[in-house]
Structure 1
Amino acid sequence: MKRVVVGLSGGVDSSVTAYLLKEQGYEVIGLFMKNWHDDSVTISNECPWLEDSNDAMIVAEKLGIPFQVVDLSEQYKERIVDYMFNEYEKGRTPNPDILCNREIKFDVFMDIALKLGVDYVATGHYCRKAEEKINGKMIYKLLAGKDNNKDQSYFLCQLSQEQLAKALFPIGELTKPEVREIAKKADLITAEKKDSQGLCFIGKVRLPEFLQQKLQPIVGEIVQIPSDFKQYTTSIPKFTTKEAELNYFSTKFSYQKEDGKVVGKHQGAHYFTKGQRKGLNVGGTKEALYVIETDVKENIIYTGEGKKHQGLYRNVLFVSNEEIHWIREDLELFMGYTLEVEARIRYRQKLEKATLYKVDSGLYVAFKNKQSAIQEGQFVAWYQNEELLGSGVIS
């Protein structure tokens, strides 16, 4: 009888994960991760983790499995929260959920679980795992979840072969309605519970308010760039190499204050991200204004009118060598090689055709169609036939 630790979060997905594994004959242990108790930074007045750990405990009792709470708040603060503040301060946009999976759930948490002498760690992610022997070596594959609306493989795009080897995703073959149905039949308290929105395992976080506690508000100007800005219409140069061409198209537009007109004020460029529309509070335009660039040094936000504004779009992005991660290490690209893939730059974005180009300094991802709001600090993940092969942080 194999033993497995389930990360019980107090939600329906992890509850059903534990239930299914027990039905399959595993010896199941439930662990709840407490990821926060730093009073110097209040996350929200509602404290969901108490309610969530209570729900997780009730589910464990119902299933007759041992349960305990592990406190990972110190590691979470160091590896996730401090990193987030750092990135926002630099004007980049991190993805805490991806980091939380790489650094906390499948690292710190997995270590604790394996010390309990278990064979696997299971989570309630909507994704699947497959394995295949290739050249005499067992290779683990991360596949998209069967439920297209809920596929969460993107959040696991930084996992390694070692982490995948020990991971189980029992609900990856199911849809969300099926999961709720199983929970109802099993009479689990979480069957009707709403999905948590917010940072991984912290709960209800409003990001600007959270950031304001560490990054002080500084009043700056909002500048509107016209749709006929000169850089949008300059003729494309002739390129002598493919790399020169990729470099040209991956370079973002650069703006000066005098390129547009000042249309409002903001409380700090580091609170805004490319593609953002809410929170600008500027009226008087036919279409809504979108953030097309932030300059945290000069504390200026550059905006464009309408979601078709050219300043929002690029079709090439770059990932530096130290930020490239292959789940399928056996498929890693070497210098000069290319690979046809499908890729996405954010969760829930539909996969788009793209080509990877490996160069000396890193990896270019060239999309067939232009992508809106490519943002430094976010992750690009690439797939082939439902399998997530690798990912990287956008430079």
Structure 2
Amino acid sequence: NPDVLCNREIKFDIFLHEAEKLGADFVATGHYCQKGEENGRFKLLAGADKNKDQSYFLCQLTQKQLSKALFPIGHLQKSKVREIAQEQDLITADKKDSQGLCFIGKVKLPVFLQQKLEPKEGDIIELSNDLQIFRDYSRITDSDDYNRLSKAFNYKESDGEIVGKHQGAHYFTIGQRKGLAVGGTPLPLFVIGTDVEKNIIYTGQGDAHQGLNKNALFIEKNEVHWLRDDLKLEFGESRQYDVRIRYRQELVSSTLHMHEEGLYIHFSKAMTGISPGQFAAWYNGEELIGSGVIGH
């Protein structure tokens, strides 16, 4: 997620260091989140405006970075911020909410990638929900079999039929619906897998497709990050948290299990669109506790 990485590597690393060189004690940002402190530990808390809460974007911060952060609008509703901006006659008072990446300008990310990467035509393959690998997954009865529950589906070209063409598998992520340009199906097509090496996109009909919904995910040991390092799980320990895998997603009650090879997250209900390379973040109530890069 570019926003998460930008905050970790730029705003609260390079930029923070430059600010400190100039004698600054803190860096204030416009993120809709809040900061608390208890017994010398800093807490990253959700913003008061739950529809705009941006704590997820700061899920990779450290205690040191958070200690230097100020979030002056985190306790306000977005409507109140606009009202204050209008009272102060700021030119941004009625500006639309930014949704792109600040470091590439006003262009949207897919367009930016198309400008930088050569198009490469490949096949869009549709997979039936009745495929054997999906039937096998639905039959897993041992809820403690986290490895099988989180394991990536391995698709083959022969598993389905070609229903269209795309201009580059690297433009798509699991759970994506837009940009496929394939019609005529009873239910909308969603991306359920990508093979960048072979330049193939695998799709399934409807958001209830088994290829889009899984009960667990896995994070490699070296990709697990604890903002609250005093709450770090040790090998063999488990704990309940609420988890999201994308910005503004509803939190899902989950159990985290720390194994020797890494962290397994078992959801209380199937999670839609788990995409390797994205970030999972876990919360205790309003507080973000930790995060990690999804492996599978």
Same fold (TM over 0.5): yes
Is 1:392 the counterpart of 2:292 in the alignment? Answer: yes
CA offset digits 1:96-117 (Å, max 9, x no partner): 0000000000111111111111
Is 1:217 the counterpart of 2:217 in the alignment? Answer: no
Give distance in 2, aligned partners of 1:178 and 1:208: 32
CA offset digits 1:206-229 (Å, max 9, x no partner): 323322344322211111101211
Structure 1 consecutive aligned stretches of length 4 or more whose deviation exceeds 4 Å: none
Residue correspondence of structure 1 range 65-214 to structure 2 within 5 A:
95-133=1-39, 138-214=40-116
Q: Which amino acid aligns with 2:273?
A: A
Q: Give 3-state SS (helix, strand or coil) of 2:154's partner.
A: coil
Is 1:333 the counterpart of 2:233 in the alignment? Answer: yes
Aligned pair partner of 1:356 in 256, 269, 274: 256
CA contact (8 A) 1:198 1:204 kept: yes
CA contact (8 A) 1:335 1:358 kept: yes
For the structure 1 residues 189 and 284, does the alpha-carbon distance in structure 2 shift closer, same or farther, using more than 3 Å as the test? closer
Give distance in 1, aligned partners of 2:123 and 2:112: 22
Gaps of 5+ in 1: 1-94
Aligned pair partner of 2:195 in 283, 295, 298: 295
Gaps of 5+ in 2: none
CA contact (8 A) 1:100 1:200 kept: no
For the structure 1 residues 238 and 173, does the alpha-carbon distance in structure 2 shift closer, same or farther, using more than 3 Å as the test? closer
Q: Give 3-state SS (helix, strand or coil) of 1:317's partner.
A: strand
For the structure 1 residues 246 and 204, does the alpha-carbon distance in structure 2 shift closer, same or farther, using more than 3 Å as the test? same
The aligned residue for residue 379 of structure 1 is: 279
Give distance in 2, aligned partners of 1:279 and 1:238: 36
TM-score normalised to the size of structure 2? 0.95
CA offset digits 1:312-347 (Å, max 9, x no partner): 000201111111111001000000001100010000
Give distance in 2, aligned partners of 1:181 and 1:247: 50
The aligned residue for residue 152 of structure 2 is: 252
Q: Which structure has the larger Rg?
A: 1
Please state how far the C-alpha of 1:182 moved relative to its aligned partner.
1.2
CA offset digits 1:58-101 (Å, max 9, x no partner): xxxxxxxxxxxxxxxxxxxxxxxxxxxxxxxxxxxxx1000000
CA contact (8 A) 1:197 1:204 kept: no
| Superposed CA RMSD | 1.5
Is 1:313 the counterpart of 2:213 in the alignment? Answer: yes
Q: Give 3-state SS (helix, strand or coil) of 1:343's partner.
A: strand
CA offset digits 1:122-179 (Å, max 9, x no partner): 001110000111xxxx110000001011100000000000001111111111000111
Q: Which amino acid aligns with 2:271?
A: Q
Paired-residue identity, %: 60
Q: How many residues align?
A: 294
Give distance in 2, aligned partners of 1:336 and 1:261: 43
TM-score normalised to the size of structure 1? 0.72
Q: Give 3-state SS (helix, strand or coil) of 2:104's partner.
A: coil
For the structure 1 residues 390 and 237, does the alpha-carbon distance in structure 2 shift closer, same or farther, using more than 3 Å as the test? closer
Q: Give 3-state SS (helix, strand or coil) of 2:290's partner.
A: strand
Q: Give 3-state SS (helix, strand or coil) of 1:192's partner.
A: coil
CA contact (8 A) 2:219 2:293 kept: yes
